[in-house]
Structure formats: structure tokens, C-alpha cells
Chain A
Amino acid sequence: MRILALIKYSMDVAEVKVDPATKELRLAGVPEKIGAIDKNVAEAAVQLKEANGAALQALCLGPLAATDSFKDVLAMGLDEVFLVEDPFAGAADGRVAACILEAAIRKLGQFDLILCGFASDDGYSYQVAPRLAERLGLPLVSYGRQLKVSDGQLEAERDLEDGLQAVSVSLPALASIAEEAYPPRRTTLMEAIKAKKKPVNVWHVEPDLGLVRNELEKLSSIESSSQVGVMIQRKQRMLKTATLRESADQLIDLLLEEKVLKGGSK
């Protein structure tokens, strides 16, 4: 069996700060790594390999700086990574990114199963898996948990708002992994050492995938974009008193002043 895991080199959005004066997003220096959600994708792939035997490749559209970030997922049990250098540095429209990923998947050949996260840590747009299902003409099990492969079928549970839906599709298929469905394993030092020998192949859209940057740009449906940070003004007042009992009283007094509490005497 051949399984492909799609993993994104994602920004740690918890580290994105908003400039209070200009509302600008401070993106410079924000750490990037394989997203927490996509580590669940790697874990799902490794568990399926353990259950059924499989070759596990991973595909990432991202910057060359991502090359060193695959150690963990390789140590977990992925066999090989293909990094496609992103000509738009993460700024491409969803359709363009899907088009590049599709071209890379087609070049890698026929897979039995392609796994994505339900959303990426930073993009969080839930769109890559459904777009690829459309483009590749594959069945999709979205928000999947408890994935099982047997007799050319994928069985899984779809994790929906109010329940779990048991479904199946024939392979080849695509699945997106539900939130926290496959907490990634810890790896050993031996696995980490072995991972160093596993290949990280770098592809470029033009020579390797036969895509032309200008043509890709034309596919984008966005003419222009701007962005600002979401700012919610809070009072940020720290209570400083000699004892915690005084803090409790001070907090109650403040909440009385704010009129969310009422009544009482000192």
C-alpha cells in the first residue's frame, strides 16, 4: 500500500502579535514548524502502516527553510518527504496551492490513501482536502477518526458537531484527520538518528512539476488583499494587594463597579 501524508510547515499563530497602534500583524520572527494538526496526520499514517504495511511519503508545499523541520515526522515513521518550494511564500490563493499540490501528487504516482489534516494550524481554512477530492476525483472521508483499511476499503468515523458518523469508501481515497484524533507518539533517540538518513527531496514548480509561475498567478481569483490584526481592548489591570483575601474583596468591588455583580456590604 502507498500512503501520502500532506503536512504543512505552519506558523505558530499563538506567537503572532498585533501592533496596538497600527493594528498591524507582526509576522516577522514568528516560529514555524510542522503543525500540531499535521503531526496527527503523520501519526495516522504511521498507525495505518503498522496495521497494514505501507510505504509512507509526505508532501509539503513550503519554503526551503522547512527542510530541517521534518526530523520529527521522519522519526515517527514516515519514509520520505517531498518539499515543493512555494513560489508564493504561503500567500497563494487556495486554488493555486491546491493546483500545485495536485501536480505534485500526480507526479508521485498512484496512492491508495492520501491523508490531510482537517485544517492547517495557521491557514485553518479546511479547504485543501475538499479541493483535492474535487481535483483528483477521489472519495473523501472528512474529519476522520479510527481509520481502518481492509479489502480495498477505508472505514472510518466522521467526527461531526453532534455525533460520529460511520462511513466507508473504496480505495484509492482521501481522508482528512479530525482534531486531536491521532496524538503524535514520542520518538526515541534511535528513531531520531535513523531519521537523519531518510530523504528530504526538494522540488521546484517550474522544472519539476511543469507549472509556470505566471500561469499559476492567473489561476488566483484574488486581485488584492490586505490584513489587520484583531484587537480587543481589555483593561489589563492586575490586582496588587498584600493578601489574597484583599484581592478577593477588591475583585468583588471592581465587579460591583462594573455592574456585573450587585448587593452586599463590606
Chain B
Amino acid sequence: MNSQAILVFSEDADLLKELVSGAKQGTKAQDWRIAAVGVGKEASALANLGEDVLYQVDVDVHNPELLTAALEAAARKVEPSIVLVGATKLGLEVAPRIAERLAAGYAAWATGFEVASGTEGAKVMAQSMIFAGVGIATHTFKAGPVVLSVARGIFDSRQVDGKQAEVVVLDTPLPAPKLTIHGYRPKAMNGGRLAQARFVVDVGQGVKERDDLQITQALANLLDGQLSCSRPMSADRDWFPEWVGLSGAKIKPELCVTVGVSGAVQHIIGIRDSHLIVAVNMDEGAPIFSQADYGVVADLYEFLPLLIERISARGIRPAWAT
């Protein structure tokens, strides 16, 4: 199993597009073959992402065992040197399972890869996040296939040539799954608004009462922004449907003002792509200040009303306002 081919899978169509684009860019010098796996009856709509072949499988996308079996079946056909899997919760279960089945190398949270042709076949190098995002490792893999899970936003989904891929229906019999699914309850979500926001007020446990969010909301409203929060504000206090950070949303606004956030690395990972970060915290030793462009050591209950008053009084608006 060492052909010049990449197999790409994600149940998330946008992420699949990014992966196909990443696969193309990473191998264009060698002109590798790109095969994608699309799930469901409508999967043929995914045949224009730039891949050469689309394997269409009609299985329940909610069952990780079935998707593992489908991806394995595709891998046995394609014999890829690299399998790229979208790092969703489903993908993060399927990817290591596939790595076990193919006796392949595996790196979670990959951020890039390179291929070189060697005497024993393709040689793969990959970069991946380690220690929950604090570092990046570069691995050189031994000969043999390599599975990489890749999060959203790592590869840009540049539209490639727009050619139509050959669609192959994969109808290998799949084993009966051991997992029985009984039902599904949707969660309350911010609906992706945060990811698009250009101004975000990011609140942490320094905000004491739920009613106090009015102050932070007032600042957000004034500059046409959104509120985000640290994990305890959502997971413990349940004031917000979702949080920002390692396991939460990632934001990249022009301006992120954190208030009462200590700056734990797991939180920073969610805000570190912001263009500018301002931190307001009472404790001058708080780690957030080393992650911020501008720091104000202050009680948020004193500082925010003043800031709001000065912004209003001076007629300040966000730079992108029309």
C-alpha cells in the first residue's frame, strides 16, 4: 500500500472541500491521484471539489463503525499513502480506527504534510499540534500509509479546476454495527455567528453574576460585536451555549477584548488568531497579559462603564462600520 494516492474523508462538506484542496496543494509537484469518500445518496454533488475519484457510500453518517468500515473499504481499493480525515468528533474516532486497521502511522491535529518519493515508496512528513496546541511536532514517518486528522481552517478551500470526478458507488457489504442509535437531541448553538464576528467581547469568570453580562453586552453592542466566553462560563455556569478554546469555538475577529479571563492556554487557543487582543483583568500577574497586545489592570466593573462612556462620548465606531 504505497501508491501515489491520497484518500480524503469528512462528513462535513466544507471540510471535505478544504481537505481535497490541501491534498492537491500538498502533492501537486508529484501529481498524485486524489480520491474522496462522500457519504449519502446526495454524495455525487461532491464530485466537483477537484478530486479524481469520488467513492459514494450510502451509510448512516451518524455511526462511526459504519464510516470506519466504508473508509476502510475505500482505502483497500485506493491503497493510499496518505489518508486525510476531517478532525470532527466523528473523524477523530474514525481516523485512529483506520490507522489500526491499515497498520498506518497516525498524527492527530495535523497542520500540514509533505511527500517525497523514496526508494521504498512515498515518504511522508507531517506537522501536527502537540500538547493541546502549545507546540507543533514534525514527524517523519517510516514507509507505509499515514493517516492524518485535520481540523477546519487548516487548508484553504481554494476552488481547483472544477473538473468532474469519476463517481464510483462503493457497495461493499458492511458489517452490522455494535452501536445502536436510539435518538438525537439538537443542542443550542451560536450558529457560527462567532466565527464571523469582527469584534468580540470574550468574558471569563471575573464576571460574577449573570446580570452583569449586561455590561459586557453593552460594550459588544456599541461596536457591533458578539459575546464569547471561557469554558467554565458555559460548562459550569451554563450562561452560554458554547465556549471558546481548545475544545470550543475558534474566533478570529479584528478585535477581541477579554474581560475577567485568566488566559489559560486551552482558552487562548480559541482566540489566538484574533488580529488584536485587549485584556482587562484585575490581577496584573494574570497570564492573559502575555497573550495580549494591550493590557489594562483594572476591576472590570469599574473599567467597562468608563470605556463604554468614553466610546459613546467620543463617537467611536468600528473601523468597518459604514
Stretch of B22-30, B38-46, B273-281 that contacts chain A:
B273-281
10 shortest A-B CB distances, which residue pairs? A221-B105, A139-B178, A264-B314, A127-B96, A125-B108, A134-B100, A126-B92, A235-B293, A124-B132, A166-B182
User: What is the total number of residues of chain B having a CB less than 8 Å from a CB of chain A?
Assistant: 90
Residue of A nearest to B186 (CB): A163
Q: How far is the CB of B89 from chain A (nearest CB, A)?
A: 5
In the bound assembly, the distance between CA atoms of A161 and B248 in angstroms comes to 9
Stretch of A10-18, A48-56, A187-195 that contacts chain B:
A10-18
Contact B97 A225 (CB under 8 A): no
Stretch of A58-66, A69-77, A140-148, A208-216 that contacts chain B:
A140-148
**Among A94, A180, A252, A260, which residue has the most Cβ atoms of chain B within 10 A?**
A260
Q: Which of A127, A225, A262 contacts B108 (CB 8 A)?
A: A127
Residue B140 at the chain A interface, CB threshold 8 Å: yes
Count contacts between A and B, CB distance < 8 Å. 255
Q: How far is the CB of A121 from chain B (nearest CB, A)?
A: 7
Residue B303 at the chain A interface, CB threshold 8 Å: yes
Contact A262 B187 (CB under 8 A): no
Please give 5 more A-B residue pairs, beta carbons under 8 A apart, in addition to A164-B185, A180-B236, A230-B272.
A126-B108, A183-B236, A221-B105, A251-B278, A258-B276
Which B residues touch A133, using CB under 8 A? 97
In the bound assembly, the distance between CA atoms of A238 and B64 in angstroms comes to 49
Stretch of A1-9, A79-87, A104-112, A242-250 that contacts chain B:
A242-250
Residue A228 at the chain B interface, CB threshold 8 Å: yes
Contact A162 B265 (CB under 8 A): no
Residue of B nearest to A243 (CB): B306
Residue of B nearest to A170 (CB): B178
Assuming the A-B contacts A234-B277, A238-B295, are A244 and B306 also in contact, with contact meaning beta carbons closer than 8 angstroms in the complex? yes
Contact A256 B316 (CB under 8 A): yes
Assuming the A-B contacts A165-B62, A225-B139, are A261 and B316 also in contact, with contact meaning beta carbons closer than 8 angstroms in the complex? yes
Contact B88 A161 (CB under 8 A): yes
Contact B319 A262 (CB under 8 A): yes
Residue B1 at the chain A interface, CB threshold 8 Å: no
Which A residues touch B106, using CB under 8 A? 94-95, 127, 221
Those of B263-322 within 8 Å (CB) of chain A? 264-266, 272, 275-278, 284, 287, 289-298, 302-303, 306-307, 309-311, 314-319, 321
Assuming the A-B contacts A131-B100, A161-B89, A180-B235, are A225 and B140 also in contact, with contact meaning beta carbons closer than 8 angstroms in the complex? yes
Q: Which of B89, B103, B276 contacts A255 (CB 8 A)?
A: B276
Those of A140-192 within 8 Å (CB) of chain B? 140-143, 160-170, 179-180, 183
In the bound assembly, the distance between CA atoms of A235 and B276 in angstroms comes to 9
Contact A165 B183 (CB under 8 A): yes
Contact A262 B316 (CB under 8 A): yes
Residue A227 at the chain B interface, CB threshold 8 Å: yes
Assuming the A-B contacts A164-B184, A226-B138, are A239 and B296 also in contact, with contact meaning beta carbons closer than 8 angstroms in the complex? yes
Residue of B nearest to A134 (CB): B100
Stretch of B74-82, B141-149, B164-172, B209-217 that contacts chain A:
B141-149
In the bound assembly, the distance between CA atoms of A225 and B138 in angstroms comes to 5
Which B residues touch A238, using CB under 8 A? 284, 289, 294-297
Contact B318 A262 (CB under 8 A): yes
Residue of A nearest to B123 (CB): A223
Assuming the A-B contacts A122-B132, A163-B185, A262-B321, are A222 and B310 also in contact, with contact meaning beta carbons closer than 8 angstroms in the complex? no
Assuming the A-B contacts A222-B105, A249-B310, are A11 and B140 also in contact, with contact meaning beta carbons closer than 8 angstroms in the complex? no
